[in-house]
Amino acid sequence: MDTRKSSAWPLAQAYAALILYASLYPFAGWRDQGVSTLAFLASPWPRWWTGFDLAANVAGYAPLGFLLALGMLRRRPGSSVALAVAVATLLGGLLSLAMEALQTYLPARVPSNVDLGLNVAGTCAGAGLAGALELAGALDRWSRFRRRWFDEEARGALVLLALWPFALLFPAAVPLGLGQVLERSEAALADWLADTPFLEWLPVRDVELQPLVPGAELLCVALGVLVPCLLAYSVMRDLPRRVAAAAVLVALGVLVTALSATLSWGPAHAWSWLSLPVRLGLLGGLVLALLLVPLRRRVCAALGLVALLLHLAVLNQAPESAYFAHTLQAWEQGRFIRFHGLAQWLGWLWPYAALAEVLQRVSRGEAPPRIRG
């Protein structure tokens, strides 16, 4: 398969960027502490550690190794599996080494040779899994599956669809509400411009943001589940498969949101977010997705653009509740810190990346949808 048509490379690049963010968060207090950046390599086993930390270091780098090896194997079909695994492990190890070395300059972070070793092990495990799937012929079967289900220029949409469940993991003020950045952006911009004359240039709201009424919450949820369906439709020609894709995406959105609630508030509250407006929004989004199945791909992309803009406009009129802010603190300061950067930025930026993708697709020509005999 041509590298330009493989989703592995952009996914690997996005994942590496998120690892960089998670490794260097909170990006504050940079200073030279008079210690060599590689001194941690000779450090003894840490006194305090948990099984969660060990598993997180392995699991955090496994997807990177998988995507790197997959990208190399897809770039040159028939190339050496062992070489792809070795190169992927080396690249992942170099990234981890750079992150641990840079943590020397961050007082809030502690570089560790144990973390480095576990990250390399995770990268190797992920790359090994990709190699095993290649040897078993699973990657060729995926290539055939992709050609049957999606058009040749589906890479960008497939990357976004693959990232969508991970974006939903970060707790949202409104279920399936991605891209709520207005309030935090205003506060961040005010902090950056503090003690400068440019602070007076910022627009001042006449009234504070008010919580969404049930109807607006219903609309946000419906659009939140409809957008990925329309994105999938924009790269699919086969109508029955669109129906299957809509069902899978809605079910996936519900399950991942329940998982996010479980991680945030505990298993007892896994389904507490399913209020009446949310249930009606999920049902309405699914019904709309099924009604729009016959539309041409370009029309689906155009409707996806409209749905995204409306979703962002309504969602960003809602404030972050005090309880929601407390939940964010648990993620940002607690044991979820390693997942904080990975999920938070996806939750913020996914809709805007989807906007760029559907805009690009609207400008393209297409073949009409087809119905299988």
What's the one-letter identity of residue 113?
N
Q: Does 132 lie in the same domain as 179?
A: no
Q: Is residue 372 part of a domain?
A: no
Q: How many other C-beta atoms are found inside a 10 Å radius of the C-beta of residue 217?
A: 24
Task: Confirm whether 368 is domain-assigned.
Answer: no
Tally of domains in the chain: 2
Same domain? 182 vs 273: yes
Tell which of 83, 116, 149 closes a domain. Answer: 149
Q: Mark 232-265 as b/e (b = at least 16 C-beta within 10 Å).
A: bbbbbbbeebbeebbeebbebbbebbbebbebbb
Residue 3, pLDDT > 70, answer: no
Q: Which residues contact 337 (CB under 8 A, 6 or more apart)?
A: 22, 25, 331
Determine the Cα angle at 265 with ends 262 and 270, to 5°: 40
Q: Are residues 324 and 266 in the same domain?
A: yes
From 116, 149, 182, give the residue that closes a domain: 149
Is residue 76 domain-resident?
A: yes
Q: How far is CA 256 from CA 222, 223, 300, 356, in A?
A: 16, 17, 25, 24
Q: Tens digits of per-residue pLDDT, 55-68?
A: 878 888 999 999 99
What mean pLDDT value characterizes the chain? 81
**How large is the average pLDDT for residues 96-118?**
88
Average pLDDT over residues 49-57: 72
Domain assignment present for 373: no
**Terminal Cα-to-Cα distance of the chain (whole angstroms):** 28
Both 128 and 188 in one domain: the answer is: no
298 and 328, same domain (yes or no): yes
Range of the domain at 273: 158-362
Do both 128 and 261 map to the same domain? no
Same domain, 25 and 138: yes
Distance CA(251)–CA(254), nearest Å, equals: 5
Q: Is residue 98 part of a domain?
A: yes
Where is pLDDT greater, at 160 or 14? 160
pLDDT digit string, tens, across residues 216-239: 999 999 999 999 999 999 998 788
Shared-domain flag, residues 62 and 127: yes
Please give the Cα distance from 157 to 10 (Å, whole number). Answer: 11
Whether residues 126 and 186 fall in one domain: no
How much is the pTM?
0.70
In a domain, residue 370? The reply is no
